[in-house]
Amino acid sequence: MAKQQETKHATNQPNKKIENLEPDKEDSTGAFMTTDQGVKINDDQNSLRAGDRGATLLEDFILREKITHFDHERIPERVVHARGSAAHGVFKVYKPLNKFTKAHFLNDTATETPVFVRFSTVAGSRGSTDLARDVRGFAVKFYTQEGNFDLVGNNMPVFFIQDALKFPDLVHAVKPEPDNEIPQAASAHDTFWDFISLMPESAHMIMWLMSDRAIPRSYRMMEGFGVHTFRFINDKGEASFVKFHWKPLLGVHSVAWDEAQNISGKDPDFHRRDLWEAIESGAFPEWELGVQIVPEADEFKFDFDLLDATKIIPEELVPVQRIGKMTLNRNPDNFFAETEQSAFHVGNIVPGLDFTNDPLLQGRLFSYTDTQLIRLGGPNFHEIPINRPVVPIHNNQRDGFMRQQINKGKSSYNPNSLGGGDPVQAKAAEGGFASYQERIDAKKVRARSKSFFDHFSQARLFFNSQSDPEKNHLIDALSFELGKVKTVAVRQRMIGILSLIDRGLATEVAYALGLKVLKPEQPINHSIPADGKVADYQPTQVESSLASSEALSMKNTIKDSIISRKIAFLVADGVDERSVNGVKDALVSGGAVVHVIAPRLNAVIGMNNKEIAVDESFLTAASVLYDAVYVPGGKNSVATLEAEANAVHFLNEAFKHCKAIAADEQGLQVLEATYFANKLPSDFSDETVLTEGIVVNGDLKKLSEQFIQAIALHRFWEREKPRQVPA
């Protein structure tokens, strides 16, 4: 498979990381089976016994080796972000950024920097569903010519907490409850909302988490964010603040919550499969890297603190400059060796970049190495092929479990004379990393800056920036999650927090929970001000300088293509081949993937006796796994389908989930058997198609054009307005 991709490779340079992995790859094609010691095996079916019915002999080194290795196959899963999928790719910068940073990979427009990117959910374990309502991890390892730079971000630009000290509490609260290990990969339970309702600083993140961003259509259709403010350093040693963004070229899109829950049953690997299949088919996912740059002098210019990870810098205040493009163009060869063993670390940076004092970032700097030590079993995890840089490693670190490198020479210390003084330190001008010399004059205190005390203004900004359907989804999500909470006092406390964000939001959620909006309890927060008077502490209520921000609503995202979208064609014997093939050709040439679905597998015979291959049956396929549905005509086919409960259900679900639906003149008969028959538009003009997402046309060319436009719009959320969509 990898070979096939080589020809479709979107880029033109050999990927240095793939070359670097090559010597470690094993290919058994045409080879003899051997033991781990290289001895050829002549019987892998029977262990060595004392007689064919006797006891197994301890001397059977083949059996011993095989079972022992098997017994040790598992390693601990990541404590968070256990469930993930990854791919290889490249990054290329558009133009030199030398004014801001000296990082080579952000200046050399000729170099394609290899990357390995792992997407993940946070709360669930390794085998959990991809469609959990959750934050998605978006971790990128750049194998630069100056060493590895890891941008370990999420698909949401803020975080729940301001201080790393609270991270274990947050994770304990969201993970399955400790007595019965329930629920898996879900935040809809008491301990999570108990914690959140006592942590007003999480208000902004909760708005993101309850929004549709938490149920992406695809990893390929998510934004990514570095979250923290980092520093760029140029070759004069000047610093500026920087926030990183990944902007997907396919736009930002989500599924409906009801759909997400169904996908979790029908195909819990939905995102993993989607990423894999897109790359295998040559539809390489792409993102532009964006930066928001703030000069050092402007550090205090905003009504929030740049060091506070619960805040964004609204794009209206500092625009995102798109500085380069990342293309994922190769699937891993081996999930465990690459995806599972990849070790990201927010502390892996290269010259030209540096940290800030964001207290969340500072804590992360400790955590990532520490966690790999237990997960990967020792200090040499940087030598695992996927983790090692594409540049050589020379230092005086030695030994430890599983050491691979064979260091020559007698000296493993510095200074030394026996080794000629090598390896030598590099001056900054020679590419040596020199930390930014930030001036600090402060007392050592356990305290939080007052500039971190506004928790609600940006939560409000987010809510106010959503379109009506997005607001409704957010209200439904909160009503669902809090509805699953059994402790009424926790629900009530959350309503109090919501009322500090938006009274209308709190009222709607309270209504769904059968509660009232009461005066909020004094929000408890463990961030103790410098003077230590806890009782004096109250989150401040600040109005944002902005009423709304366009970039926060998915309504304003890119909706211009059908590339890699999955379209279901519902057919039965007697289908009109012309209608199937005509519309299929148009969709496929637009980049979509078409699956023919019929009552049974293999093939159907069309009305002109031509065979049409069937990809899935109604048993193996489901509406929730597709982006749009087409019903071609053919008298017998439509007669079968309108009487086929699974076909009608397929369409009903597609309608419920606001997807584009199309039929030719005869296919319309099947739409008329659905519950939405009486909601079909009275005309199928271009305008109606674009607002209602239903296309019916006898002219296959026109039909295809309209269908393509409708699919590109993704969803017709307005359909939900009457709120009369049945289950």
Q: How far apart are CA 331 and CA 278, in angstroms?
A: 10
Amino acid at the residue 606 = G
Q: How far apart are CA 557 and CA 54, in angstroms?
A: 70
Cβ nearer to ligand HDE, comparing 63 with 365: 365
Residues of this chain, 317-356, that bind ligand HDE according to CB under 6 A: 342, 344
Using CB under 6 A, which of the segments 50-58, 359-367, 455-463, 536-544 binds ligand HDE?
Answer: 359-367
Task: Verify binding: residue 115, ligand HDE, rule CB under 6 A.
Answer: no
Please, how many CA atoms are within 13 Å of residue 97, restricted to the half-sphere of its CB?
27
The answer to whether the CB of 149 falls within 8 A of the CB of 326 is no
Among positions 199, 227, 349, 661, the unique one binding ligand HDE when judged by CB under 6 A: 227
Residue found by looking up tokens 């210390």 in the block = 413
Shortest Å distance, C-beta 103 to ligand HDE = 19
Question: Cβ neighbours of residue 360 under 8 Å, at least 6 residues apart?
Answer: 159, 161, 162, 163, 164, 167, 227, 228, 309
Q: Copy the structure tokens of residue 71.
A: 């017994």
Q: Which of 195, 256, 280 is nearest to 7 (CA)?
A: 280
Question: Cβ neighbours of residue 51 under 8 Å, at least 6 residues apart?
Answer: none
Using CB under 6 A, which of the segments 147-155, 403-411, 466-474, 543-551 binds ligand HDE?
Answer: 147-155
Cβ nearer to ligand HDE, comparing 364 with 460: 364
Size of the site for ligand HDE (CB under 6 A): 25
Task: Verify binding: residue 278, ligand HDE, rule CB under 6 A.
Answer: no
- Rg of the chain over Cα atoms, rounded to whole angstroms, equals 28
Cβ nearer to ligand HDE, comparing 360 with 498: 360
Out of 81, 253, 455, 657, which one is annotated catalytic? 81
Q: How far apart are CA 98 and CA 100, in angstroms?
A: 5
231 marked as part of a ligand binding site: no
Ordered DSSP codes for 488-520: HHHHHHHHHHHHHH-HHHHHHHHHHHT---PPP
β-pairing verdict for 224-225 and 602-605: unpaired
375 marked as part of a ligand binding site: yes
118 marked as part of a ligand binding site: yes
The answer to whether the CB of 630 falls within 8 A of the CB of 711 is no
β-pairing verdict for 136-144 and 113-121: antiparallel
Q: Which of 239, 235, 328, 332 is nearest to 287 (CA)?
A: 328
Out of 148, 154, 329, 525, which one is annotated catalytic? 154
Cβ nearer to ligand HDE, comparing 118 with 388: 118
Task: Verify binding: residue 162, ligand HDE, rule CB under 6 A.
Answer: no
Residues of this chain, 77-106, that bind ligand HDE according to CB under 6 A: 78-81, 84
Using CB under 6 A, which of the segments 101-109, 361-369, 407-415, 629-637 binds ligand HDE?
Answer: 361-369
Shortest Å distance, C-beta 374 to ligand HDE = 10
Q: Is 301 buried (19+), middle (13-18) or exposed (0-12) by CB count in 10 A? A: exposed
Please, how many CA atoms are within 13 Å of residue 428, restricted to the half-sphere of its CB?
11
Q: Which residue is nearest to ligand HDE (CB)?
A: 137
**CA torsion, points 609, 610, 613, 619, in degrees to nearest 10?**
-20
Question: Cβ neighbours of residue 42 under 8 Å, at least 6 residues apart?
Answer: none
Task: Verify binding: residue 152, ligand HDE, rule CB under 6 A.
Answer: yes
β-pairing verdict for 286-295 and 321-330: antiparallel
Cβ nearer to ligand HDE, comparing 321 with 367: 367
Using CB under 6 A, which of the segments 149-157, 172-180, 690-698, 699-707 binds ligand HDE?
Answer: 149-157
Cβ nearer to ligand HDE, comparing 366 with 511: 366
Residue found by looking up tokens 């086929």 in the block = 644
78 marked as part of a ligand binding site: yes
Shortest Å distance, C-beta 120 to ligand HDE = 5
The answer to whether the CB of 290 falls within 8 A of the CB of 247 is yes
Task: Verify binding: residue 153, ligand HDE, rule CB under 6 A.
Answer: yes
Task: Verify binding: residue 379, ligand HDE, rule CB under 6 A.
Answer: no
Contact string (CB under 6 A) for ligand HDE, positions 561-590, x = contact? ------------------------------
Shortest Å distance, C-beta 376 to ligand HDE = 9
Cβ nearer to ligand HDE, comparing 358 with 664: 358
Q: How far apart are CA 598 and CA 580, in angstroms?
A: 13
Cβ nearer to ligand HDE, comparing 157 with 314: 157
Using CB under 6 A, which of the segments 364-372, 595-603, 618-626, 684-692 binds ligand HDE?
Answer: 364-372
Among positions 18, 115, 139, 283, the unique one binding ligand HDE when judged by CB under 6 A: 139
Question: Cβ neighbours of residue 503 under 8 Å, at least 6 residues apart?
Answer: 517
Using CB under 6 A, which of the segments 4-12, 55-63, 366-374, 551-559 binds ligand HDE?
Answer: 366-374
Cβ nearer to ligand HDE, comparing 286 with 340: 340
The answer to whether the CB of 649 falls within 8 A of the CB of 621 is no
Q: How far apart are CA 236 and CA 241, in angstroms?
A: 15
The answer to whether the CB of 100 falls within 8 A of the CB of 81 is no
Task: Verify binding: residue 373, ligand HDE, rule CB under 6 A.
Answer: no
Shortest Å distance, C-beta 86 to ligand HDE = 7
Task: Verify binding: residue 307, ligand HDE, rule CB under 6 A.
Answer: no
Among positions 98, 321, 371, 449, the unique one binding ligand HDE when judged by CB under 6 A: 371
Shortest Å distance, C-beta 588 to ligand HDE = 34
Shortest Å distance, C-beta 368 to ligand HDE = 4
Strands (E), 35-173: 84-93, 113-121, 136-144, 147-154
Using CB under 6 A, which of the segments 108-116, 360-368, 531-539, 564-572 binds ligand HDE?
Answer: 360-368
Q: Which of 503, 493, 526 is nearest to 456 (CA)?
A: 503
154 is catalytic: yes
Task: Verify binding: residue 120, ligand HDE, rule CB under 6 A.
Answer: yes
Among positions 363, 377, 419, 431, the unique one binding ligand HDE when judged by CB under 6 A: 363
676 marked as part of a ligand binding site: no
Phi, psi (rounded to 5 degrees) for 628: -160, 165
Q: Which residues are annotated as a binding site for heme?
A: 78, 118, 167, 364, 368, 375
Catalogue the active-site residues: 81, 154
Residues forming contacts to ligand HDE in the complex (CB under 6 A) are 78-81, 84, 118, 120, 137, 139, 152-154, 159, 164, 167, 227, 309, 342, 344, 360, 363-364, 367-368, 371
